[in-house]
Amino acid sequence: MQTHYRCVAARFAAILLIGLGVGLAPRAALADDLEALAKRVQILEDREDIRALILAYGTAHDNRDYRSFAALFAREGEWTGGLGSAKGPEAIFELMDRTIGHNPQPGGSGTFHVMTNEQIRVDGDRASSTTKWIYLTPGEDNAPRLVYLGRYEDQFIREDGEWKFLLRQAPVDIPINR
């Protein structure tokens, strides 16, 4: 899929450059421009793939599907937060199962991890980000109740062609008094 987008972007750039009268530019300069454009498009695609990974994490967490949750981590991936720390997908699954409970609920468990203000930095097959998170649960009157505010400090790695969490730290910045 990413290759398709790169080809479309490269073709669009070539047509645009020709249309702007740059069609007479030396082939080497055009090739350099297309290569630079392809690199920029790749970074944009990587950021979108990482955003999708971040959102998949929240969905799996809220759905209590800790098998899917753990699969988002690299072979050497590590999760660190208020529930403890674990390294590797199986250990991460065991931590979440033991502390929260693996009980897949495709319609959601009633909790919501809201992700916002992500700042993603891509460097080849590695990336990092800071993402703010808000954790909501239903209150006694079923109105949303704010439980925690925090941030994720993430390191990512492209493993077998897919972005995975290499390190996810989940500090709580503002615990809400109950």
Mean pLDDT of 55-81: 97
Q: What are phi and psi of 40, to 5 degrees?
A: -65, -40
- pLDDT value at residue 175: 79
Residue 14 reports pLDDT greater than 70:
no
pLDDT value of position 178: 55
Going by C-alpha positions, the residue among 97, 131, 138 that lies closest to residue 114 is: 131
CATH no. of 2-175 = 3.10.450.50
- pLDDT > 60? residue 7: no
Task: Please count the CA atoms within 13 angstroms of the CA of 69 that sit on its side-chain side.
Answer: 28
pLDDT one-digit tens code per residue, 91-130: 999 999 999 999 999 999 999 999 999 999 999 999 999 9
Separation of alpha carbons 163 and 123, rounded Å: 12
Average pLDDT over residues 3-10: 57
Q: What is the mean pLDDT of residues 125-150?
A: 94
The tally of CA atoms less than 13 A away on the side-chain side of residue 121 is 6
Q: Cβ contacts of residue 168 below 8 Å, gap of 6+?
A: 57, 73, 77, 78, 79, 80, 81, 152, 153, 154
What pLDDT does residue 20 have? Answer: 54
- What ranges do the domains of the chain cover? 2-175
Pairing mode of beta strands 73-81, 162-170: parallel
Q: Is the pLDDT of residue 138 over 80?
A: yes
